[in-house]
Amino acid sequence: MSESNRELEPLSDPGLPEHLHRKTDVDPLAAKKAERQVSILFTLSALGTILFVYAYIWIPEDTLIFLPLFNVTNAHQLFLGLGLAMALFFIGLGAVHWAKTLMPDHEVVDYRKEQRSKDEDRAAFVATVKDGAAQAGLGRRPLIKRSLGLALGLVGLSPILLLRDLGPLPENDLNETNWKAGTRLVTDPGDRPIRPSDLEVGGVAQVQPEFPAGKVRHLDDIAQDSVLLIRIRPEEFNLDAERLSWTYEGIIAFSKICSHMGCAVALYEQSTKHLLCPCHQSTFDVTRAAKVIFGPAARPLPQLAITVDNEGYLVAKAPFNEAVGPSFWGRDSG
């Protein structure tokens, strides 16, 4: 027997209390029962993954359900979370239960060695690992083997599925906001129509397009439609005639969604008339139609042409002059 094998022998007298055998070590029926329990836990994990996949593919993202404790909640996200939690929780629980009830339970000693083990020790380690795998009894316990294979296989699928979130490209979605010719600008929050006199020179307001009664504004709408309204003195604009005609008495409107990576452009410096995106410091010059003067953004913020309707409220003259949001593959970034 080699030195290393001798070191991994069960201790005959390790100075510990007498080793108590588990029920599953001495009772084949108990072992069989534990095997079934482990298999059930792995199967529950597999069901969790199936729930996750089902929710991801077949439950629409805006499906709402009523739950007693949570009130109305989003079913898509709820079942995604529950499915993944079940998959990971039960696979962990199954592995722990398997280790505690069925895997070898005797004490071994491994003496301290040099940092690099001797070649024969390394070979012995490999042999021990193989021996341990054999002792884990996968070959003898086909139920565990199959249910573990199923659970691991399905859990492994989850990240592959999430790759789908990298696409598809937004295609035409960002070209189509709720801004149309004649849409009133309303305060956000508050939903009140705005007259030019409501915004004093130097002022900034966040607005949304007015929705017809009964139409619900979803988060996607808010993300795409958010507009910053800024008022400066008309003579401070440095715009061509067309862009100047998109402003109204010194009021100019830009998409609030940064053209770099889509953060909210939320900081306005009144003295310099610069808009700043807090994410990566892209800076846009309000007087020059939000031209980029600093930072990684590659194009100006889209401008919304505005005017007033016959009741004197600010309205859009036309949809945005280009797609809102960040640049993406296949889209001109200039």
Cβ at position 276, least distance to ligand FES in Å: 9
Of 296, 313, 327, 331, the residue at the interface with ligand FES (CB under 6 A) is 296
Cβ at position 293, least distance to ligand FES in Å: 12
Is residue 257 a contact partner of residue 284, using CB atoms and an 8 Å limit? no
Is 137 one of the binding residues for ligand FES (CB under 6 A)? no
Cβ at position 281, least distance to ligand FES in Å: 6
SS3 at position 176: coil
Site string for ligand FES, 257-286 (x = CB under 6 A): -x-xxxx-------------x-xx-x----
Distance, CA of 300 to CA of 302 (rounded, Å): 6
Is residue 238 a contact partner of residue 247, using CB atoms and an 8 Å limit? no
- 125, exposed or middle or buried, with CB in 10 Å at 0-12, 13-18, 19+? middle
Cβ closer to ligand FES: 158 or 259?
259
Cβ closer to ligand FES: 193 or 325?
325
Q: Which amino acid is at 56?
A: Y
Strands 274-276 and 267-269: what pairing? Answer: antiparallel
Question: What are the counts of helices (DSSP H) followed by strands (DSSP E) for the chain?
Answer: 8, 13
Locate 220 and state its tokens: 């996607």
Cβ closer to ligand FES: 208 or 255?
255
Is residue 30 a contact partner of residue 136, using CB atoms and an 8 Å limit? no
Site string for ligand FES, 227-246 (x = CB under 6 A): --------------------
Cβ closer to ligand FES: 93 or 263?
263
Cβ closer to ligand FES: 250 or 295?
295
Cβ closer to ligand FES: 76 or 260?
260
Question: Any idea which residue has 């508050």 for tokens?
Answer: 190
Cβ closer to ligand FES: 54 or 294?
294
Of 59, 91, 155, 297, the residue at the interface with ligand FES (CB under 6 A) is 297
Q: b/e per residue, 81-104, with b = 16+ CB within 10 A?
A: eebbebbbebbebbbebbeebbee
Cβ at position 297, least distance to ligand FES in Å: 5
Is 295 one of the binding residues for ligand FES (CB under 6 A)? yes
Cβ at position 282, least distance to ligand FES in Å: 3
Cβ at position 263, least distance to ligand FES in Å: 4
SS3 at position 55: helix
* CA dihedral of residues 136, 141, 142, 145 (deg, nearest 10): -30
Site string for ligand FES, 78-97 (x = CB under 6 A): --------------------
Locate 135 and state its tokens: 């002792």
Cβ at position 74, least distance to ligand FES in Å: 26
Does an H or E element contain 90, and which? helix 75-101
Cβ closer to ligand FES: 141 or 260?
260
Is 201 one of the binding residues for ligand FES (CB under 6 A)? no
Instruction: Tell me the DSSP string of 310-328.
Output: TTS-EEESSS-SS--S---
Residues that bind ligand FES (CB under 6 A): 258, 260-263, 277, 279-280, 282, 295-297
